[in-house]
Amino acid sequence: MSLVGKKAPIFSAKAVVNGGEVVDGFSLEQFVGKKEVVFFFYPLDFTFVCPTEILAFQEKMNEFEERGVAVVGCSIDSEFSHWAWLNTEVKDGGIKGVKYPLVADLSKTISENYGVLAGEYDFNEEGEAVFNGAPVAYRGLFLIDKNGVVRHSVINDLPLGRSIDEAIRMVDALQYFEKHGEVCPANWKKGDDAMTASSDGVAEYLAKTYDK
């Protein structure tokens, strides 16, 4: 079930912040009323596609910060695994230099509550708890507004890396709508014309854009 339009699930977990500091009780609630949040999940530390995404987010951090947006990553690894990966040089497969928080979801409850866990718990014939599927998170991304409401989400299968530029585009669209009250049409990007959510507004936009 989609979380769009609903309050983002609340959690409190261990995380590694500022590239090496382990903290207890990290929560997205600290940003409510202050910042939008791009909260993304990735499958595992020390893997292949994951560092490309994590480093790509870091490369774009200035753009997120200019927009007043917090970026937070999460996987089912422990805080110790996060710490080790954050302290491994990029040339050795690490992500050293990443400064935004990485949340530890060792229990997999955060991933489950956000609907990105690539499998599910069940019971076998002996009544023992078993896990069916891959016990990791899909590549989920959630744009959460200042009220703590999910406004956009996308979930990719494990082999499919995400576009960081698309995440920025969605931030721009949300902030534009909240500032101007105009809606953002297909392929809209910052600086483009938007349109009013009315029959006349749509007709005017369509005529200007497609009736050529």
Residues with catalytic function:
50
**Minimal CA–CA distance to 3: which of 142, 146, 111, 184?**
142
Please give the Cα distance from 46 to 115 (Å, whole number): 23
Q: What is the DSSP string of 102-138?
A: EEE-TTSHHHHHTT-EEEEEEE-TTS-EEEEEEEEE-
